Amino acid sequence: MDFIKNQLDGYGMSEQTIGYLSNMIMVVFIAVISILANFITKKIVLKTIIHIVNNNRYTWDNIIVEKKVFHKLSHLVPAIIIYFSASIFPAYQVLIEKAAATYMIIVTITVLNALLNAFDDIYRSFEVSKIRPIRGYIQVVKIVLFIIGGIVVISNLIGQNPLIILSGLGALSAVLMLVFKDSILGLVAGVQLSSNDMVRVGDWIEMPKYNADGDVIDITLNTVKVMNFDKTITMIPSYALISDSFKNWRGMQVSGGRRIKRSFYVDTSSICFCTKEMIEEFQKIHYLTDYVTTRLHEINAYNIENQINTESKVNGRQLTNVGVFREYIHQYLRNHPKIHKDMTLIVRQLAPGDNGLPLEIYAFSNDTNWGVYESIQADIFDHIFAVAPTFGLRAFQNPTGHDIVHLKESPEYSRGY
């Protein structure tokens, strides 16, 4: 500054004019230096760093570049130059230093925010992120970062110690708790969800209260985002997963088997004892040959041992068509390639009711994919409906309009029977 003043003094200018001109020259000079430094930083240093990042074998540093952490960091260079040049202008030194320091604090906050985003993306690239999501914790760190950054900026502008401002926040704790109620509840819920492994990204959850039935695609501080199977998005408060009940289908997906639980309703009027002709036909069925032979041997031995008169089928033990049919379904499922052999497999009778006798199929498919599961289930019941008449059984069905029309057209109906 003195050198410039001495040079201008040789031109015979007034002291006031020399002061203005020297200040303007220094401002332009500092601006040029700052622009030049910023140019060198971005065009040379930053490009060199990006080149090194793109040509190494690591992938995590590419995410840092994508989040523009180094780009934001480069904004500190001009601010540092301006801050240390403030002493050139004694009258405005304090104002320039405060402005430059405030700018550097804000840039630092944006750099740390971008770094946290990069860390979140890096963590998400690992499988453990689905089991232990940390996005909620990162959001808490961001809130703390912005609060502390705001306090430091304010304390810098008013020239007070940040601790004085922090001590004054004690009186505002009730207000802060009210403002950040959802965030606090979300943080507590996030800790419980994570520590108890209650829900992960990718889990299929069902929560009727919020009309949620689909896959969890994101877990944040305040909400859990669920993509329903109709491709709509449901946002559930994180703490609702702690306070309310929900169903997580992860166990089914992990086990490798999906439950089939459906009944075939038999018309009870079609149930009867097996005749010799029926037994002969059943012995021709591959899945029943050994079963029918064994059962006949047991029944005959029992009836002979107890001297039972078998002229009446009511006496002693007899095979029934519904019992043989139940065994056939069981053997059919045991040999089905899409049924999980290591999980529960039961074909049982439920209590008969207005809709006939329910034969319930309780088994597990070995493919949990929804489309495949529905196809397996449909194929099984297609076969059961088609094979039931072979056993002399009819599926129960309430009379339809078609049945009533045929009934009216029958000769018996016309004769008044």
Query: Could you tell me which of 338, 329, 322, 330 has the C-alpha nearest to residue 377?
Result: 338
What pLDDT is stored for residue 327 in this prediction? 94
What pLDDT is stored for residue 215 in this prediction? 92
CATH placement of domain 196-255:
2.30.30.60
What pLDDT is stored for residue 12 in this prediction? 54
Mean pLDDT split into 10-residue runs, the chain, 417 residues: 53 57 70 82 80 76 80 84 79 82 89 87 78 74 83 81 67 65 74 75 89 88 87 89 86 86 93 90 91 89 82 81 94 94 93 92 92 93 94 87 65 54
What pLDDT is stored for residue 414 in this prediction? 53
Give the alpha-carbon dihedral of 396, 399, 404, 409, to 10 degrees.
Answer: 0
Domain 258-272+320-403, CATH 3.30.70.100 — does that match?
Answer: yes
What pLDDT is stored for residue 75 in this prediction? 82
Site of tokens 């200018």: 13
Here the contacts of 339-347 (C-beta below 8 Å, separation 24 or greater) are 339/363, 339/364, 339/365, 339/366, 339/376, 340/256, 340/257, 340/364, 340/365, 340/366, 341/366, 342/257, 343/255, 343/257
| Domains of the chain by residue range | 1-160, 196-255, 258-272+320-403
Query: Could you tell me which of 213, 333, 205 has the C-alpha nearest to residue 261?
Result: 333
What pLDDT is stored for residue 128 in this prediction? 74
N- to C-terminal Cα separation, the chain: 124
What pLDDT is stored for residue 228 in this prediction? 93
What pLDDT is stored for residue 198 in this prediction? 82
What pLDDT is stored for residue 321 in this prediction? 93
**Model's pTM, two decimal places?**
0.56
Distances (CA, A) of 234 to 56, 167, 247, 342, 365: 41, 41, 15, 36, 29
